[in-house]
Amino acid sequence: MSLLRMEGITKKFPGVIANDQVDLELEEGEIHALLGENGSGKSTLMNTLYGIYRPDAGRILYRGEEVHFSSPTDAIASGIGMVHQHFMLVPTLTVTENVILGLKSQKSRWNPILDMRSAENRINKLAELYGLNIDPKARVWQLPVGAQQRVEILKSLYRNAELLILDEPTAVLAPKEVEHLIDVLKNLARSGKSIIFISHKLNEVIQLADRISVLRNGVLSGQVDALGATTTQLAEMMVGRHVESPQKTPAKTGKQILTTSNLVVKDDRALVAVKDLTFDLSEGEIVGVAGVDGNGQKELTEAIAGVRSVESGSLHISGLPKSRGKRFRTIGHVTEDRHQTGVVLPFSLWENYALKTCGTRPFGDWSHMNVGVMQEHTTVAIDQFSIKANGPDVAMSTLSGGNQQKLVLARELALNPTLLLAAQPTRGLDVGAAEYVHGRLLSARDSGMAILLISTELEEIWTLSDRIIVMYEGESMGIVEANQASREMLGLMMAGVPLAEIENGTSR
């Protein structure tokens, strides 16, 4: 039975048609994947369903009746819940406090303010029923990303949602967390919940969904059953062309650019995050750092970039200026969280592009900024990196995640750095944008740049790297040539088995 029908949905913003007469149908108990490139209109379509936007044309039928949601409150009251890509949680509050935040019904005769015990009991029952595995008393900041996402799902279930919308739910999850989420969503569907799963990850979509709808440039380009669908077919539907894997030539290495010896770095809690790490990186090569998120990769990158102190050991970068400002402009750094540390969302594109160069010629000096030159260079970058934007003056916040990432990469490569730190460079990007970023990184490597690639995407590490370091609990499990590494080997190392034990056949 049809639970939802969206007919001819059109949504326009200044200078762009985000959705152009899009149709979508969802059955009860179905997992329906909404697939598309960054900026294809997936999130806009779901924000229209959820009451964040009002459609300019078309209609929405829910349980056979036409509905007009003027806010998310209306959608929630009708049994629709949405888990956004960027979580809507208060880190200092507990799981229970976050789940019941904003509700007026958490009162009892004995507790006229909040009936926390009743709420905790209900959260425990929901968590047990759907395999969500969460402690209601834990504070959100203490939870890993996967657990925080389960809190978001619990918020919707607690409000009796029958239709769940998940926007890019696996973008920040480690492989084990992705597997758990897929199990949770299948449990929800078996219990009768209906799910719309927004994604650009082809294998996950095929593994999870019943049906797949593909958007391209705001238009529905096709719909297929997940059973029998192939990644090649879906990629071509997404981007309108054949998508090829990047071709990597043998590395031609030069002098050593980065060397570390017994490096120790602490995290924000003053606990050791990087333990006795020793490796080197030369011109013309990509060294990949693999591992599940939270095993010291972030602290390692920040120590190399100069924004985190080294506790002990040595870290040397060839030709590094002593001035902190010049060092900032010498090292290219694509940070793992573009919204937190990569861009300033309210700023224009040219202001973001000029963040590292606004005090140097020809962009300006200590007394003024040459805005015209900055705008010209940004316009060139928009063209060269195929960034979908209406000129350099628009706000960064108006771009899709993939286009934001392209501008960050353009800015860092424009420095022509000797060393580039690329942390999660394709996190949240679709197959077309990821293909583009991979090609740019390989071109930079072939031009002689030294690149340290940090990624939780094993396929990305494997495809781009010349050598691979696997980190587990802050330690290196070994360094292996990429062309000699197998998926099984890297998987064991990511689970904490040293390379030496694998090679000697002594691993359990």
Digit-coded pLDDT (tens) for 217-237: 899 999 999 998 998 889 888
Residue pLDDT, tens place only, 333-372:
999 888 888 899 999 999 999 888 876 777 777 677 788 8
449 and 282 Cβ atoms separated by less than 8 Å: no
Asked if the model's pLDDT at residue 110 lies above 60, the reply is: no
pLDDT at 430: 72
CA dist., res. 146 & res. 166, Å (int)? 13
Higher pLDDT, 453 or 337: 453
- In a 10 Å sphere around its CB, with 0-12 CB exposed, 13-18 middle and 19+ buried, how is residue 29 labelled? middle
**Bridge partners for 419 per DSSP:** 331, 450
Asked if the model's pLDDT at residue 90 lies above 70, the reply is: yes
Closest CA to 316 of 230, 237, 256: 256
Angle, helices 145-158 vs 175-190, to 10°: value is 20
Higher pLDDT, 31 or 172: 31
Which range among 76-90, 93-107, 357-371 shows the weakest confidence by mean pLDDT? 357-371
Asked if the model's pLDDT at residue 476 lies above 90, the reply is: yes
pLDDT at 55: 95
Structural domains of the chain in order of their starting residue, each with its CATH number: 2-239 (3.40.50.300), 244-319+418-508 (3.40.50.300), 342-417 (no CATH)
What rounded mean pLDDT belongs to the chain? 88
pLDDT at 240: 80
